[in-house]
Amino acid sequence: MPYLLSKINESVRRDPAAFAQECDRVFARKVEMAAEKIAQHRSISRIVLLSGPSGSGKTTTALKIEEQLRKMGIESHTISMDNYFNTIDPDTAPRNRDGEIDYESPFCLDVDLLNRHFAMLDRGETIHVPKYEFSRQMRSDILSQPLRLGKDEIAIFEGIHALNDIIVGKNRNAFKLYIAARSSVVDDAGQEVFNHAWLRLCRRIVRDYKFRGSDASFTLKMWDNVRRGEKLYISPYKESADIMFDSSLADDFSLLKPYVLPLLEAIPSGKYQVVEDMLRGFSCIEAMNDDCVPPESLVREFIGGSTYDNH
């Protein structure tokens, strides 16, 4: 369901703290529902596959589900599938249509090792989770961590390709969760003011700036290829999910505005149509200060100050 622009703006003007609290409560209910379904499924499989496109808040959502499961007496372990990237070999790496290495491709992953580890965990055996060193573009087995699931423990594997057939095909019993920011903002006439894909792009622009020091041009240059990868490798498999989880919050747009607006305005006018579209959308949305947003809120994954920053 889309968010109504007039309600967002009214809530920001009237009581932003109460608005933020209500958005967090709505998100918490979604987390609780997902955790309950995962818990019910664990007698079938103790593997959870969590997928979603860039900027969806997969990391924070996975950790929140982990916390909720712990409250239910179920220990869980969240593992980034990025650690299963193959060491990049220019001779064998997948290529996109421009002949460049396709880092969005699922074939950058060591699929055989992943599938072997899923089976071993479900059998109660010990695996050694590898560590991928992005600075060196190589996987380190020396830094690997042992993991063995106890009787009532769950492993959550989080990554953009988690629901791809090359993964799910050999793990049909795993619980499948698809996370994406799926709600746009519309005006009272039902006309779209701000698209949900723009929200994900803004989240990524702000996160790249806050945590990598990259300007908006850096993120925008990659965006078309990221979107291409989503359409090829992620979206076609979302229907197989046991739960489709909307990770957008009604206050996202207002909270991101003060952070992303200066970054967008620094882009030369006319260079990117999507920037013009987003600036036009933001001109209708009230900005909101993040002082009233607690560190455990999902938006903190992108603007900083998160409880999970050092996780």
Q: What is the pLDDT of residue 83?
A: 93
Phi-psi region of 160 (alpha: psi -120 to 50; beta: other; left: phi over 0): alpha
Q: How far apart are CA 21 and CA 63, in angstroms?
A: 19
Q: Where are the alpha helices (DSSP H) in 15-158?
A: 16-41, 58-71, 111-122
Q: What is the pLDDT of residue 135?
A: 76
- CB burial of 113-139 (b: ≥16 within 10 Å; e: otherwise) equals ebeebbeebbeeeebebbebeeeeeeb
Could you tell me the mean pLDDT of each successive run of 10 residues in the chain, 311 residues long?
96 97 96 96 94 90 92 93 86 78 84 93 94 82 89 91 91 94 96 97 95 94 89 92 95 97 95 97 97 92 78 52
**Positive or negative: CA dihedral 301, 306, 310, 311:** negative
- Closest C-alpha to 156, from 235, 43, 64, 249: 64
**What do you get for the CA distance between the two ends of the chain, in Å?**
32
144's CB contacts (< 8 A; 6+ apart) are 128, 129, 130, 131
**Positive or negative: CA dihedral 13, 18, 24, 25:** negative
Domains and CATH numbers, the chain: 3-303 (3.40.50.300)
| DSSP helix/strand/coil, 295 | coil
- Environment class of residue 74 by beta-carbon count within 10 Å: exposed (0-12), middle (13-18) or buried (19+)? middle
Q: What is the pLDDT of residue 254?
A: 98
Contact 254, 12 (CB under 8 A): yes
pTM over 0.85: yes
